[in-house]
Structure 1
Amino acid sequence: MPDPEIPVEISHLRKVLGGRPVLDDLSLTLRPGEITALLGPNGAGKTTLIGCLLGLLSVDGGTVRLWGEDATSLRAETRARIGFVPQTMTGFTWFRVGELMAYLSRYRARPDDTEDRTWEDWAALDPRARIKTLSGGERQRLAIVLALRFRPDLIVLDEPVASLDPQARYDFMRLLPAYARRSGASVLISSHIISDLQDTSDRFIMMRHGQVMLDMTAREIAATVRRLSGPPDAGWNLDVIAAPGAAPGTAQGAEGVWVRGWHPALDAAAAAAGHAMLPGDIERLFLALTR
């Protein structure tokens, strides 16, 4: 039975576009109150996955459920629990900023704590400005405000900071985790700017060719993932997850061998074997898994 307490349950998802499988037997679950980073190179299927998750795209196999409901037939009250920020905001160009906020408020109730102006204050937009006159970064700030000012329980962000200036991006990535944890929301954020995600995300999902290559929490990566200068001893019982420049499990490439299942007792064994050993770095691990 689907769990109505789980924000997102995706099982064996398959999506074909142009005769090519863009998502191939993909399964994942998003847990309440968790900030999840969705990483992958261009063409990995991230935006397609988000489209299926939101019910904007039909699926060719598998299931996508939000709080136990099929994503393509959500009740209005369930859909109102979702806040979505696309890569770029389009439409509504004839509105003024304040007019659009007031207009959308008629269709979506704002929580009781109306004094919380976190996102309006961060965006610092002139409510009298017409949307068609806003810059790309200003439109993106508006999209974020429109998605988050109603305190959604599930926040889905597709490259939300790509068009923001450095200060706005820094402030956003500082505010988002505090805001999400204060409200108890679950967050799925897709971004190519990995440095923005390393210190804010609880969990990392890395995709390639429509499949999940790695799904681990930040703590698990820090504790159990290591980069070795050469292949590990078979007796160490480690999983080789990436060996750049070579097929996994065969020989190391220029970047060494990435392993999972490390524990402190192996530190001495690695040193005795002459291995240089470095802790798991999110950006280097992502490059090793997706190149």
Structure 2
Amino acid sequence: MKTPNLKPRRMNLKPEYVNGLLGMSFSMEEIKILLEKMRYGVELDGNKIQVLIPPYRTDVLHPIDLIEDIAIAHGYENFEPEMPKLGTVGEPDELERFSSTLRELMLGFGFQEVMTLIMTSKKNLFDRMGVPEELTTMTKSPVSLEHSIARTWLIPSLMEVLERNKNREYPQRIFEVGDCINAKGDDKRKLAGVIAHSKTNFSEMKSIFTGILENLGMKYKIEEFKHGSFIPGRCASVKYGFFGEIHPKVLENFNLEVPVTAFELDLSLILEGL
């Protein structure tokens, strides 16, 4: 007949490790008392502390778990806070601050922010968007083919959001500020937006696109641009990105029944020019 093993597990604990993490100077006897408060068995062995862990404490996996219980037994309110001795002070990262500015700007234009996964599939990134495949960063052993490669641009992710919300009320105006990863594994912060409703067109998206650049004080020159995801003749670009009307074939691939316009900007590139 088998019965449960109720023998306590043993774990060694060094006082210097405890005091180093907690910023205290507990003696071995004080540590023993605190552990016993938390219902551990304790045996002192030279400069080491042997802790007997009850069988019901399956959550204790590492000495750090014992130190947490020591802190609880001592009382968090009894620790005296100290300012770290650092020669610098924290401040927002320049790219994050710039991204926040763009978010506020897009909200002012009447867009709603979405957040999508950085991992996607070749089907969504290339095939459904009507563009040829290019080198990407791939996961070695993906759990799902739907999340097997890192995105290189944002518009496909926004098209997926529109597809999932095709039965919602129109117009839909959404944007995302997010990271993309190129074939070399380099991060690029980008901004993309899409507008979906029965009357959206090139001119509407152009006004949004140029409005963003003008609010940032950027100089730009609009030129005709050919892109497989957009209707020929209704797509344009500047140094920092592109915009236009999404091709009907792409709309069909995403099961959308209304026109869609879109834009994408490379924020890392814009930040370099400011």
Q: What band does the TM-score fall into relative to the shorter chain?
A: under 0.3
Larger radius of gyration: 2
TM-score under structure 2 length normalisation: 0.23
Structure showing greater relative contact order (alpha-carbon pairs closer than 8 Å, 6 or more residues apart): 1
